[in-house]
Amino acid sequence: MTKQELSQAYDIAITNAADLHDFDIGIFDGFGLPDFKPVYVRIEQVARLIRWQCQYMDGTWDSENLQDIATVGKTKFLII
């Protein structure tokens, strides 16, 4: 995943207008583990992952988790 693709996913994630419930994020289970293999995903799936991992209940965002997604996604998330 490139920086531009992460930026697109983030923009989708922060817009509450986008309904991402139809996009499965189960493929990301364990993405932080060292033996996690690269996966082919859509930008919308990454956007849903960002919402799931980074959005607090009060609407603010966790930048540390976003950084984790960016770091792992650089080599493990292949956007189709």
pLDDT in tens, 43-71: 999 999 999 999 998 888 999 999 999 99
Residue whose C-alpha is closest to residue 38's, from 2, 8, 74: 74
How many structural domains is the chain composed of? Answer: 1
DSSP 20-47: -TTS--GGGTTTTSTTPPPEEE-HHHHH
* Helix (H/G/I), strand (E/B), else coil: 60: coil
The mean pLDDT value of the chain amounts to 94
Domain that holds residue 55: 3-79
pTM: 0.92
Q: How far is CA 61 from CA 15, 57, 78, in A?
A: 13, 9, 24
